[in-house]
Structure formats: structure tokens, C-alpha cells
Amino acid sequence: MKSIKVGILGLGTVGGGTANVLQRNADEISRRAGRNIEVIMASVRDLARPRLCDCSSLTLTTDPFEVVNNPDVDIVVELIGGETLAKELMLLAIDNGKHVVTANKALIALHGNEIFAAAQEQGVSVLFESAVAGGISIIKSIREGLAGNRIELVAGIINGTGNFILTEMRDKGRPFEDVLAEAQALGYAEADPTFDVEGIDAAHKLTILASIAFGIPLQFDKVYTEGITDLSLTDVDYAEQLGYRIKHLGVAKASKDGIEMRVHPTLIPAKRLIANVDGVMNAVMVRGDAVGNTLHYGAGAGAEPTASAVVADIVDVARTITADPHNRVPHLAFQPDALIDLPVKSQDAFECAFYLRFEVNDVAGVMSQLSAQFADQNISIEAITQKEPKVDEDFVSVIFITQRTTEGRVNRAIKQIESMADVRKKAIKIRVEHLN
């Protein structure tokens, strides 16, 4: 039984977790894979640093190029993150005829088209299950499990930090800044939380999900991205009263006039399973024309859940290592020459329902003036609520839930309403997805 030899770039949280899982479950894994899988080498930044895993059986080096150029290594596992060095190493590994497994969502979202073309040319695999939603194996589910479907919708809670913050805001009535500080103390959020709270991390993952769902090239720059930093407890609370819950969703939708790719806070009916995914957990809903709605739930981050996906990819590579390179599962689910550059919709063309809150003077006739603007734009209203002024407030909040419409119409209505004398401040607009 030939053993498969793995070299790991980066032995931090996920790298250490991967080495641990491969060692701890070595017997179970070789019973499945039919071969031993052995980590023989790893690159680290500092040889003296304490490790999460037992390194006695592997060669450590501070030079990642040694791993990538080691002729004994069959599979390079890239876990150093970042875009520059990681990309150089990955392309060199591919050039050296090695298979690559990576958890680097930014690298795949931004440079995947180039990387996969190189891999295709060399007849090697680049697998990236751990780049999206950690241990859930959502990429495998879409790419293989739903291969018979025309995928219509992917909607996911794909950033654990953001979901932790929203869950705490709702459950404990704590403001955003307060929960963010705690998440940082707990290690859920980075010192610089921009990627998480501004939705960039989720946008990287959505880029990948949209590609494999619809057979389009990776195009991160076309994802509309809105974070959770501006979300107020007031709206979290009003949403709840109206039977909704606010989640930060990545949404990719296909319709006959194009693809929507967007990341933003979203009202979801509270009774949907995905509305009840709390804390740092991730979940992705996928709708296919044959299968209907499916939901895939699990830990989206952390050393071992991410390692679970990395190891699954390693086993997949081991299983196809002798296979015809042109008959493997294609990187982006569709054959490279069958990707279609479908039009990606701009924000004005997004189709969904909307939660809109206006702060208005409590004078007669204001509600009918507001309603008239929606009628002008042909927007149907699902529900209207007027809230009493809170203590110290001299205005009332008026909340509209629209029926499904386009964002362009809604923006035009908002512009008209904001120009009205009795309307205060900027309107609050949050998208609503019913996911039924």
C-alpha cells in the first residue's frame, strides 16, 4: 500500500489541527482511503514556537519553498493565508506536479481562475472545501451531491463572527460595539475585524459558492457587500416583533436575466431553520430545481472543523491520484470550457422584499404621503407598522415591509420620501428573504 505524503505550509491553528486529525485518526482514515496518509514536512515561521501538534515524525523548515520543491511530497496543503506568497507557492507546487489543498478563501476568490487554469494544464487537483463554511462540506454537496440540479439559490450564514455578534445583539439586547469587543476577547474576531464585520470574508466565500452553483467564473469584484456595523438594536428588535430575525447572509440567485451576488444583513422569517442558526455556527441553504430546499449546517471555523474539511480533501486527492485528470470533478463544478460568463446584476436590479424604517414627525397625513410614494413606484406593501415614540424621542418610526420588488424602485421611493419635510434622518433599508 503506497502511502500518500503530505507537506503543510503553515502550522498554526488549522495546520496544527490538520496534523493532529491525520495522526489521531490515521487508522480510521487509512481504512477509508485504502492508503496511509502521512505528513512528512511542514513550514513554519518560527522553529522555536510551541506547536499544537506532535512534530516528532516530520521535518520542520522555515522555508516554505523547501516543502513545495520536495520531490517526496504528493500533496501540498497551503494554510499560510494571504495572497502574495501563498499564490506564488501554490503555482509553483502545481508546476511541480503536486496536488494542492487550501483553506485560503481570499486567494481562491481573487485568483482562482488563474490557479485552476494552471492546475488543469498540469493535470493536478486544487481542492478548497475548507475555504467555505469549515467542516460542512458544502462545496462537495453542491458540486457533486446536487450535480443533477439547476441551482436556483444559495443563501448562507458563512461568517461565524458576524453570526455570533448578531445572536448576542438579539438574545441579550447588547449593542454591536459591545459584542464585537467580547468576540475579540474570546478570539472569535480578529484584532482587525474589518474582513468579518464589513462582509468581505463572506463575500470571498459567496464568490466561490456562486461559481460552483451556476458555472460562472469567479468574480469577487461583482459581489455587492454590506457589513453589519451599521445595524442598530432598534431594527433587530422591530424585526423580531414582526416575526423575522436578522442574519448576515450571502445570497447568490439565478434568474433568466442574470445572477445576483450580494452579502448583507437580511430579515428572514423566524420559523425558518436557518433563522435559528445561532452563535458561531454556519449554515448554507441551497435550492435546486429537482431537490427543492436543502440546508447544510455545522461549524464554520476553528482548528478541527476546518481540519475535517482539509483532511476530506486530502482523501479525495488520494482517491483520484491515479485517475484520468480529465475525468475528475472539475474545480468549479463545471468543465473549464463550459463556464459561462452570465451577466451579474447591479444593485438596482436586485429582486427581494424590503424592510424600510422612516423616522417621521407625528403629524396627520404623513403615513398617506409615504404610502403614495410606494404606489408611485408600483411597490406593493405587505405590512405597515407605526411605533410609538420612545422616551426622549420626538418622532415616530414607521416601518414598511414591501412585497418582492426591485431595489431600484425602492431606492427611488426612498429618495422621494427622504426629501419630504416631515421625514427625519436617513431611511433604514434592510433586505428581506423569505427562503420558502
| Cα separation, 169 vs 174, whole angstroms | 5
Q: Smallest distance, Å, CB 181 to its own copies?
A: 26
**C-beta separation of 101 from 127 below 8 A:** yes
CA 218 distance to own-chain centroid = 14
Place of cell 485517475: 323
Return the bridge partners of 254, or none.
Answer: 259
Give the range of 72-80, 104-112, 314-322, 373-381 binding its own copies by CB under 8 A.
314-322
Amino acid at site 8: I
Question: What is the Rg, in whole angstroms, of the alpha carbon atoms belonging to the chain?
Answer: 24
- Asked if 116 interacts with its own copies (CB under 8 A), we say no
- Asked if 4 interacts with its own copies (CB under 8 A), we say no
The DSSP 8-state label assigned to residue 177 in this structure reads H
Binding-site member from 13, 23, 25, 369 for its own copies (CB under 8 A):
25
Q: Write the secondary structure of 53-86 as one string of H (helix), E (strand) and C (coil).
A: CCCCCCEEECCHHHHHHCCCCCEEEECCCCCHHH
**How many amino acids of this chain bind its own copies (CB under 8 A)?**
70
For 407, the 3-state DSSP assignment is helix
The 10 Å Cβ neighbour count of residue 82 is 11
Report the chain's terminal Cα–Cα distance, integer Å: 49
Binding-site member from 13, 184, 229, 293 for its own copies (CB under 8 A):
293
9 known ligand binder: yes
342 known ligand binder: no
What residues from 334 to 393 belong to the interface with its own copies (CB under 8 A)?
334-335, 338
Closest to its own copies by CB, 11 vs 180, is: 11
Closest to its own copies by CB, 340 vs 391, is: 340
Q: What amino acid positions are annotated as catalytic residues?
A: 205
Return the bridge partners of 287, or none.
Answer: 153, 293
Element (H, E) at 216: none
- Asked if 54 interacts with its own copies (CB under 8 A), we say no
- Asked if 327 interacts with its own copies (CB under 8 A), we say yes
Q: Which of 39, 49, 111 is nearest to 77 (CA)?
A: 39
14 known ligand binder: yes
Burial code (b: 16+ CB inside 10 Å, e: under 16) for 34-63 equals ebbbbbbbbbbeeeeeebbbebeebeebee
- Asked if 56 interacts with its own copies (CB under 8 A), we say no
- Asked if 252 interacts with its own copies (CB under 8 A), we say no
Closest to its own copies by CB, 78 vs 407, is: 78
Give the range of 21-29, 217-225, 236-244, 400-408 binding its own copies by CB under 8 A.
21-29
For 399, the 3-state DSSP assignment is strand
Binding-site member from 70, 102, 122, 137 for its own copies (CB under 8 A):
137
Q: Smallest distance, Å, CB 250 to its own copies?
A: 18
- Asked if 114 interacts with its own copies (CB under 8 A), we say no
310 known ligand binder: no
- Asked if 160 interacts with its own copies (CB under 8 A), we say no
Binding-site member from 3, 38, 85, 145 for its own copies (CB under 8 A):
145
- Footprint of its own copies on this chain (CB under 8 A)? 17, 21-22, 24-25, 28-34, 129, 134-137, 140-141, 144-150, 215, 271, 273, 276-277, 283, 288-299, 304-305, 307-312, 314-316, 319-324, 326-330, 333-335, 338
